Amino acid sequence: MNRLQAELEVAVRAAREAGQLIKDKIYRHSITETKSCLSDLVTEVDRQAEAGITGLIRRHFPGHAVVGEEQQGNYTGEPGGNITWYIDPLDGTTNFVFGLPFCAVSIAMAEHGIPVLGVIHDPLREETFTAVRGDGARLNGSPINTDKSIATLDQSLLVTGYPGNINNRPRMHRVNYKEVIDRCNNLRALGSAALELAYIASGRLTGFWEVSLKPWDVAAGMVLVKEAGGEVSNLTGQPLLLTENVDIAATNGLIHRELLECLAWREDSPLE
């Protein structure tokens, strides 16, 4: 039994309960609102799922900080302190709103700012990805690993995403998409960073990058990818930090340097 068994059990239970709500409501939700812009969507399901997850964690671990996407700032404890939970109750809200069955619940726990536990639950496929630092990654209890059969970009199936807030979209243009498309096997954009990271961890995808994400988008997936034998960094290859805005690259580990070289990211390059 790993040292975070109690925390993992609570996270899995919370994710599955929130997932049942998503499954019940994907074609029957009634409220869709916007946040930062017209394409940044939120539904009553996001809020109800987050309330349920947050409530369960606080009941079991009242001294822990809890940071959620829909109730930013409404937390107990000090984020970035000893223990902080990061919750995305419905990652892939736009897919959910349009009835595309690709969305998930993402729950992570960090110690001193470093993610050490991650749970990503896909209720529409009944797939629960879990990882605890030092104990490997699993899918429905069975060990998973990144794909170690692909070692070059031209063999790789990559995935990316587009910022929901249109004000962040110019940062995408710092990447030469034509160069990436020409050099990889193919490129996808599936609409859920959490599930995309889980798919890197389970060998279904080879590499992923995205700009201007939030800590709750990536914290659980970071643990999964690393524990599955992959590599995670920022877009310049430095260790990824859970800052307010996150630019991330994650791969099977074998193509990481080549992907970063292809992206050719420069933080100080002009925005278009």
pLDDT at 78: 45
Output b/e per residue, 25-37; b: 16+ Cβ within 10 A: bbeebeebeeeee
Residues 70 and 160 in one domain: no
The verdict on 110 and 198 lying in the same domain is no
Residue 167's pLDDT band (boundaries 50, 70, 90)? confident
Answer whether residue 158 is part of any domain. Answer: yes
| Mean pLDDT, range 247-271, rounded to an integer | 87
Instruction: Note whether 13 and 117 are same-domain residues.
Output: yes
Q: Is 90 annotated as a binding residue?
A: yes
Per-residue pLDDT band for 171 (boundaries 50, 70, 90) equals: confident
Based on the fold, state whether residues 203 and 107 are members of the same structural domain: no
Residues 24 and 122 in one domain: yes
Task: State the Cα–Cα distance between residues 53 and 68, nearest whole angstrom.
Answer: 9
Please tell me the predicted confidence (pLDDT) of residue 163: 80
Is pLDDT above 80 for 191?
A: yes
Query: Does 122 count as an annotated binding residue?
Result: no
Does 263 count as an annotated binding residue? no
pLDDT value of residue 134: 96
**CATH code for the domain in which residue 71 is found:** 3.30.540.10
What pLDDT does residue 42 have? 60
Do 62 and 91 belong to one domain? yes
Residue 146 included in any domain: no
Q: Single out the residue in 113, 141, 169 at which a domain terminates.
A: 141
Q: Note whether 133 and 239 are same-domain residues.
A: no
pTM score, two decimals? 0.91
C-beta atoms surrounding 52 within 10 Å: 16
Q: What is the mean pLDDT of residues 38-60?
A: 83
The answer to the question of residue 82 being in a domain is yes
Check whether residue 165 and residue 255 sit in a common domain. yes
Q: Which carries the bigger pLDDT value, residue 189 or residue 97?
A: 189
Regarding whether 134 and 34 lie in a shared domain, the answer is yes
Higher pLDDT, 41 or 65: 65
Question: Of 141, 168, 201, which one is at a domain's C-terminal end?
Answer: 141
* pLDDT bracket for residue 76 (50, 70, 90): very low
**Residues paired with 84 in a beta bridge:** 65, 110
- Nearest-5° angle of CA 147, CA 150, CA 153? 125
- At which of 80, 107, 141 does a domain end? 141
**125 and 232 assigned to the same domain:** no
Chain-wide mean pLDDT for the chain? Answer: 89
Q: What is the CATH number of the domain that holds 249?
A: 3.40.190.80
Residues 127 and 215 in one domain: no
Q: Is 133 found in the same domain as 24?
A: yes
Weakest mean pLDDT among 50-54, 127-131, 164-168: 164-168
Digit-coded pLDDT (tens) for 85-122:
999 999 998 899 888 999 999 999 999 999 999 999 99
The answer to whether 46 is a known ligand-binding residue is no
- Rounded distance, CA 63 to CA 160, Å? 36
40 marked as part of a ligand binding site: no
**Count of domains for the chain:** 2
Q: How far apart are CA 168 and CA 176, in angstroms?
A: 16
Q: What residues make up the domain containing 59?
A: 5-141
Helix, strand or coil, per DSSP, at residue 128:
strand
